[in-house]
């Protein structure tokens, strides 16, 4: 495919470069003026009522409080109407089993924000493993000042319920931190010039001792500036304490090192092999086929070996999982004695329990209904009594999420269930396959009324992502149920929701992802377009009633629907998107995505990158669908400027049906609390419904 416009490669010829000044007065004035126009069109009494219904879902006290076991307690982070910034809390297992657990609040983020005059957003907690079986007490708390990826890390004592006076306190940055012991941290952060990569992540990791200033931390590990990120983690597993370093070259290439004495020892496998260590085991997951001692191991498979044997030169690997045309490995988790494999079989979950003590034999765990997603992972592999216990988190488009706990070799029982938030009984889920332009069969899920009329008259929302080997799987969403499925046209038709499983994702393993990299990016877009055409051919909808939505890389996806397939859609909602693929490597974390898209600064790669750069594919005089482009000022991953520039260029070209909205807080998620999330969802749904039903 060739470019349809002749755009200069020089950033100085970009007429909207001024909008890249994220917090500049003039750009923010432009943002506020655009927000006012969009809100005047969309926000009315009905919008506010719909927004409130979505907020009820997000704030519901009947939601499942997901927990993580540490020692004798089960920890949870919780947001609701009374605590919009959230509570970090814990309870016991006996209490968690009740309908109303007795929660012990450890940190009230709303109270903290009020006391410190800073709009803190919770980023998680990282515990120091206690010695000699004592209770968990010290943790590093991550807090973002604006919902972005940059966070401050502060040492907290869960017994005293306070930050440790004189304790560790790492300033706001895109940091990667690990406990190195009771009185030390391995810190990858912004130490000043030369300490961050061109991808805006840590280039060096230093060891910080308790009581010393950050600038005195000793250099421990470093990588070239052009790589993506340096990480060091301390494995705190009793009997297997060790430091592991990762030189992350790009999203799909890394080198893993093990500290032995004063040296880093490279675990010698190809860079595109994922390496993980668990106790005595080395586990490898190659992205492409690789050969070791005349044996070829397939991409997407999983191998295991004893770590010490491998380091000593014994390279015989045991294949634990082998993919096929329908089945792909998504993740794995260790219990004390077993390995849990989470698989997708034509995008439905399958779980296998592998026993290393019995030659790595595997059995299927009977816990996965068709067209559902079930994730299995260990409860606490180091617990003497619960070491072989596992969680099962099961969900489906019309099946509220459940949490089950089981024991390998025993039974599993339901622990918690999410309530129903919409009339699921009126709908049905089906899976279909569209044929892309190169003949590839591409699956998609359809959620529609049981009495769906196949006459092309149904407002339909098609959602997708198609990147970074991320699989789009079935999931229950009260927000989608209320915000889209339960809407009704004037003649009483509900919305239809469709989820695409296009190439670029990970639904069929790394090969499915690699099929849409770099110059082959258009395969993802061709797949998505094929699904749109299949929906019309099957009589589900017609182009003027078909909308699409995507965020981040999904925003790039729907941006290409806008510029390359405008005839297939009546409306497009494009969120926190990549759109200017000439400048993306220079904006926020964009440089780290070159492995996915290509390098626009290399002329031979710009030749193909420009063909899927929506900002450069816009044409004056062309008719485009109704379009909403939305973002967040504080998004420091993709950044708001690509969305700003796309909307501004469309308006300058005379496109009158483009709308823009930018949340002035919220990070890459577009929202930092439930209120903001409800506004974001309501705005997208309201825009799409109005646009498709002729109300704009």
pLDDT tens for 15-52 read 999 999 999 999 999 999 999 999 999 999 999 999 99
Residue 608 has pLDDT above 70, yes or no: yes
Residues 133-182 pLDDT 10s:
789 999 999 999 988 889 999 999 999 999 999 999 999 999 999 999 99
- Residue 669 pLDDT class (50, 70, 90 cuts): low
CA 141-144-148 angle, 5° bins: 135
Residue 341 has pLDDT above 60, yes or no: yes
Q: What is the mean pLDDT of residues 339-366?
A: 97
Helical (H) or strand (E) element with 121:
strand 121-127
The proportion of the chain whose per-residue pLDDT surpasses 70, expressed as a percent, equals: 97
83 is catalytic: no
Calculate the dihedral angle through the C-alpha atoms of 222, 228, 229, 230, rounding to the nearest 10 degrees.
Answer: -30
Residue 670 has pLDDT above 70, yes or no: no
| pLDDT at site 147 | 84
Q: Which of 668, 672, 681, 684 is catalytic?
A: 668
Q: Compute the distance between CA of residue 505 and CA of residue 502 in angstroms, rounded to an integer.
A: 6
192: tokens are 């000043």
**Sign, CA torsion 439/443/447/452:** positive
Contact 47, 682 (CB under 8 A): yes
Helical (H) or strand (E) element with 151:
strand 151-157
552 is catalytic: yes
Q: What is the mean pLDDT of residues 370-389?
A: 96
Average pLDDT of every residue of the chain? 95
| pLDDT at site 275 | 98
| pLDDT at site 636 | 79
Q: Is 137 buried (19+), middle (13-18) or exposed (0-12) by CB count in 10 A?
A: middle
Q: Compute the distance between CA of residue 540 and CA of residue 535 in angstroms, rounded to an integer.
A: 5
Residue 7 has pLDDT above 50, yes or no: no
The proportion of the chain whose per-residue pLDDT surpasses 90, expressed as a percent, equals: 92
Residue 2 has pLDDT above 80, yes or no: no
The alpha helices in 602-673, defined as continuous H runs, are 603-609, 614-617, 641-652
Q: Compute the distance between CA of residue 606 and CA of residue 598 in angstroms, rounded to an integer.
A: 8
| pLDDT at site 3 | 34
Q: Between helices 641-652 and 25-42, what is the axis angle to 10°?
A: 70
| pLDDT at site 5 | 35
Contact 171, 144 (CB under 8 A): no
| pLDDT at site 8 | 39
Residues 289-305 pLDDT 10s:
999 999 999 999 999 99
- Residue 671 pLDDT class (50, 70, 90 cuts): low
Residue 6 has pLDDT above 60, yes or no: no
| pLDDT at site 666 | 57
Residues 394-437 pLDDT 10s:
999 999 999 999 999 999 999 999 999 999 999 999 999 999 99
Residues 261-286 pLDDT 10s:
999 999 999 999 999 999 999 999 99
Q: What share of the chain is helix, strand, coil (3-state, %, to 5)?
A: 25, 35, 40
Using alpha carbons, select from 646, 634, 671, 513 the residue that is nearest to residue 574.
646
Q: Which of 175, 301, 436, 552 is catalytic?
A: 552
| pLDDT at site 4 | 34
Q: How far apart are the first and last CA of the chain?
A: 34
Residues 505-543 pLDDT 10s:
999 999 999 999 999 999 999 999 999 999 999 999 999
């Amino acid at each position: 495919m060739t470019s349809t416009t002749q755009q200069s490669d020089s950033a100085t010829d970009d007429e909207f470069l001024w909008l890249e000044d994220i917090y500049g007065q003039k750009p923010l004035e432009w943002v506020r003026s655009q927000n006012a126009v969009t809100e005047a069109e969309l926000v009315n009494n009905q919008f506010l009522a719909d927004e409130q219904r979505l907020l009820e879902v997000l704030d519901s006290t009947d939601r499942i409080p997901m927990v993580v076991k540490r020692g004798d307690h089960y920890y949870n982070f919780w947001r609701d109407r009374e605590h919009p910034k959230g509570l970090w809390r814990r309870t016991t297992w006996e209490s968690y089993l009740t309908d109303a657990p007795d929660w012990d609040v450890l940190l009230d983020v709303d109270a903290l924000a009020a006391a410190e005059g800073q709009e803190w957003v919770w980023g998680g907690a990282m515990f120091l493993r206690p010695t000699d079986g004592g209770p968990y007490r010290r943790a590093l708390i991550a807090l973002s000042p604006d919902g972005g990826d940059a966070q401050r890390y502060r040492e907290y004592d869960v017994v005293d319920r306070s930050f440790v006076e004189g304790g560790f306190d790492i300033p706001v940055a895109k940091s990667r931190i690990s406990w190195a012991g009771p009185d030390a941290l391995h810190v990858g952060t912004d130490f000043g010039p030369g300490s961050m990569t061109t991808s805006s992540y840590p280039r060096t990791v230093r060891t910080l001792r308790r009581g010393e200033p950050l600038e005195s931390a000793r250099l421990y590990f470093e990588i070239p500036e052009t790589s993506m990120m340096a990480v060091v983690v301390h494995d705190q597993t009793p009997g297997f304490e060790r430091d592991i370093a990762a030189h992350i070259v790009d999203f799909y290439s890394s080198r893993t090192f093990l500290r032995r004495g004063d040296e880093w020892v490279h675990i010698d496998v190809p860079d595109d092999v994922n390496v993980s260590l668990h106790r005595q085991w080395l586990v490898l997951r190659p992205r492409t086929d690789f050969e070791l001692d005349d044996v070829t191991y397939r991409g997407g498979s999983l191998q295991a070996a004893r770590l010490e044997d491998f380091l000593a030169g014994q390279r015989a690997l045991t294949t634990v999982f082998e993919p096929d045309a329908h089945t792909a490995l998504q993740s794995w988790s260790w219990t004390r004695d077993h390995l849990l494999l989470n698989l997708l079989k034509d995008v439905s979950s399958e779980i296998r329990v592998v026993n290393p003590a019995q030659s790595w034999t595997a059995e299927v765990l009977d816990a996965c209904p068709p067209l559902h997603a079930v994730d299995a992972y260990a409860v606490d592999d180091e617990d003497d009594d619960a070491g072989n216990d596992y969680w099962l988190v099961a969900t489906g488009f019309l099946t509220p999420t459940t949490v089950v706990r089981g024991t390998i070799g025993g039974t599993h029982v339901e622990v918690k269930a999410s309530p129903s938030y919409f009339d699921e009984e009126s709908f049905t889920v089906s899976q279909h396959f569209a044929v892309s332009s190169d003949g590839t069969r591409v699956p998609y899920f359809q959620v529609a009324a049981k009495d769906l009329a196949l006459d092309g008259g149904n407002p339909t929302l098609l959602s997708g992502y198609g990147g970074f080997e991320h699989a789009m799987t079935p999931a229950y969403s009260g927000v989608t149920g209320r915000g889209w499925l339960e809407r009704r046209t004037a003649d009483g038709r509900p919305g239809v929701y469709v989820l695409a499983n296009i190439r670029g994702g990970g639904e069929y393993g790394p090969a499915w992802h690699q099929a849409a990299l770099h110059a082959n990016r258009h395969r993802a877009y061709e797949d998505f377009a094929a699904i749109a055409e299949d929906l019309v051919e099957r009589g589900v909808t017609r182009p003027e009633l078909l909308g699409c939505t995507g965020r981040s890389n999904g925003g790039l996806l729907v941006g290409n629907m806008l510029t390359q397939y405008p005839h297939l859609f009546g409306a497009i909602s494009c969120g926190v998107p990549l759109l200017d693929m000439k400048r993306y490597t220079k904006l926020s974390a964009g440089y780290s995505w070159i492995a996915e898209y290509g390098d626009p600064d290399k002329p031979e790669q710009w030749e193909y990158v420009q063909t899927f750069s929506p900002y450069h594919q816009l044409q004056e005089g062309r008719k485009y669908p109704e379009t909403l482009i939305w973002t967040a000022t504080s998004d420091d991953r993709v950044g708001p400027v690509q969305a700003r520039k796309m909307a501004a260029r469309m308006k300058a070209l005379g496109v009158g049906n483009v709308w823009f909205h930018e949340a002035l807080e919220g990070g890459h998620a577009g929202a930092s609390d439930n209120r903001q999330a409800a506004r974001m969802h309501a705005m997208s749904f309201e825009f799409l419904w109005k646009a498709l039903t002729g109300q704009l």
